[in-house]
């Protein structure tokens, strides 16, 4: 029995010391598309994001890298208000385009020869533009009078944050792995260009299951 426990301990110790070598390079990324519809409010929102990522291990189980990509959001909203002979119709469309840059450092801890736990410190930055168009139409059913007003706004913004993300990385073989990040802890500062009173701050703390994301990574094994 003692020999069996000793052998198991030696095996576990050997697995727990498996390391990803210095100089190892990998590429990964994320592609995401979501669409939300609220028929009660006649509201639609579409989100698209693509962020390729590259990293290199500067020491065993310690990697640095960056993500560089693009994000887009589109919204549409329509509403009608009626009161007797008077009717007003409101329509709004919005579009957000942004370039995303996200440098990071990631530390791995070996759980087995194929499974790793990691912690990632990331500094996500967005440089984008928001276009908002709206129109209001007024109709007087009694007189037949119709009037319309239109609005158009363009605002540029910068968003800079700091996030800490825990995750798991499972190697299918020496070149391919599946990784998952679970929740995030972080801070974000959002600011419109040339507007001094729109310095918005957002904090994310705690484990949020909706923040779980999966990805596939290709490793140029040495």
Q: Print the domain residue range for 62.
A: 2-125+132-151+161-182+212-220
pLDDT in tens, 182-194: 877 888 888 888 7
Higher-confidence residue of 12 and 65: namely 65
Residue 16 belongs to a domain: yes
- pLDDT in the model for residue 199: 65
Q: Around 125, how many Cα atoms within 13 Å sit in the side-chain half-sphere?
A: 9
Q: Could you tell me if residue 205 is inside a domain?
A: no
Does residue 74 sit within a domain?
yes
Reduced to 3 states (helix: H, G, I; strand: E, B; else coil), residue 13 is: helix
Beta pairing, strands 43-59 & 25-38: antiparallel
Q: Which residue has the higher pLDDT, 121 or 39?
A: 121
Please give the tally of structural domains in the chain.
Answer: 1
Supply 218's token pair: 């290709």
- CATH code for the domain in which residue 108 is found: 2.40.160.20
Whether 45 maps to a domain, the answer reads yes
Answer yes or no: is 204 within a domain. Answer: no
């Amino acid at each position: 029995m003692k020999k069996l426990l000793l052998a198991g301990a030696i095996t576990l110790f050997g697995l727990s010391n498996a390391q990803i070598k210095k100089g190892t390079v990998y590429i990964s990324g994320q592609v995401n598309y979501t669409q939300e519809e609220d028929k009660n409010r006649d509201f639609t929102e579409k989100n698209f994001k693509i962020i390729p990522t590259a990293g290199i291990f500067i020491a065993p189980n310690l990697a640095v890298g960056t993500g560089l990509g693009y994000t887009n959001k589109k919204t549409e909203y329509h509403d009608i208000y009626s009161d007797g002979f008077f009717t007003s119709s409101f329509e709004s469309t919005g579009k957000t385009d942004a370039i995303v840059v996200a440098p990071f450092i990631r530390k791995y801890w070996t759980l087995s020869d194929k499974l790793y736990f990691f912690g990632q410190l990331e500094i996500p930055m967005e440089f984008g533009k928001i276009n908002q168009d709206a129109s209001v139409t007024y109709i007087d059913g009694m007189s037949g009078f119709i009037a319309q007003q239109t609005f158009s706004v363009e605002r540029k913004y910068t968003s800079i944050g700091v996030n800490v993300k825990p995750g798991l990385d499972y190697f299918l073989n020496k070149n391919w792995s599946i990784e998952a990040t679970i929740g995030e802890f972080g801070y974000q500062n959002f600011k419109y260009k040339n507007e001094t009173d729109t310095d918005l701050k957002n904090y994310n703390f705690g484990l949020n299951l909706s923040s779980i994301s999966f990805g596939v990574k290709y490793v140029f094994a040495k």
